[in-house]
Amino acid sequence: MKTIAAILFTVLTIPPMASQQSISTSTLEVFDLETRKRTVILRENTHFEAPNWSKDGQYFIINQEGGLYTVSLDGKTKKVLPTGTLSRCNNDHGISFDGNTLAISNNDTINGNASGNSRIYTMPISGGTPKRITPMAPSYWHGWSPDGKTLVYTARRNGHWDIYSIPSEGGKEMRLTDSPGLDDGPEYSPDGKYIYYNSMQSGTMEIWRMWADGSNQEQLTKDAYSNWFAHPSPNGNQFVYIAYLEDQGDRHPPMKQVALRLYDLEDGTIQTLCEFTGGQGTINVPSWSPDGKRFAFVSYSGR
């Protein structure tokens, strides 16, 4: 029987092909908050994940089989996004607030082993040579600070999964959480005051937030679901997140019944927007449109 740490290590370090075994179709969709309608952008009989919406609103970035791709807003054009020597990109990638720089998590081969060795790199959004930011592994990127000076990420250090920050140019990492359970999915609010994240601190997976220095941690959700990956809207008034309809403990597997839910930060109300088959790969990273009226996600169907 695996320990909790071993289970977490397995879930968060799936090789690019391993999680595809039960997935036959991936669908990139957009949800419109005004009309409450879902629009299909791209559907393929393959496995892709984790859309980012470009800052100019004209395309998406997804990961597929270790590479990154851009997809046009109408879904008609899909192109390889050159990532230099990085060929094992996972589903934790994203664009700086100014739109100039891309953060990439890549499963590096270290001592002949690429499993569990994700490290974070940055590169110009237009292409170039990736720069390694985190020397230690595993490290999974999740958020840029609004001023572009800091990255936040989930990392396993000394057997514990916690949230860390590091200067975006590289330097010394800072541990922001120290709860005994898994902390994951950190992302800054647009004003830089808060970091939203999901945590097992209460005994179930819930959405939390803290100040940017790691202090004043507070739990925001409390229900029967497993809640992951809170993404604040561009105006900072709400956030969208994924909820597993059945409790998954500290795991976020693919091919489960999930809902996308909207949390109103002004009054604390929560709306369920839509339900479908998804999970790992659906909405791991920031995916709001620049105007805050829509967001992108991926749904799946199986064999």
The predicted structure's pLDDT at residue 116: 84
The predicted structure's pLDDT at residue 2: 31
Helix (H, G, I), strand (E, B) or coil at 8: helix
How many CB atoms neighbour CB 1 within 10 A?
4
Token look-up 């996972």 returns 90
The predicted structure's pLDDT at residue 4: 35
What is the tally of structural domains in the chain? 1
Given a cut of 70, the residues of the chain with pLDDT beneath it are: 1-21
Question: How buried is 287 (Cβ within 10 angstroms: 0-12 exposed, 13-18 middle, 19+ buried)?
Answer: buried
**Size of the chain in residues:** 303
pTM over 0.75: yes
The predicted structure's pLDDT at residue 23: 82
How far apart, in whole angstroms, are the C-alpha atoms of residue 234 and residue 97?
Answer: 10
How far apart, in whole angstroms, are the C-alpha atoms of residue 248 and residue 114?
Answer: 26
Indicate the Cα dihedral angle 265, 161, 91, 11, nearest 10°: -120
The predicted structure's pLDDT at residue 13: 35
CATH code at position 236? 2.120.10.30
Note down the domain range covering 142.
Answer: 4-302
Paired strand residues for 260: 242, 274
Long-range CB pairs of 236-240, under 8 A, 24+ apart, other chains included: 236/189, 236/190, 236/191, 236/265, 237/264, 237/265, 237/266, 238/262, 238/263, 238/264, 238/265, 239/196, 239/207, 239/263, 239/265, 240/273, 240/283, 240/288, 240/295
The answer to whether the CB of 241 falls within 8 A of the CB of 285 is: no
The predicted structure's pLDDT at residue 19: 44
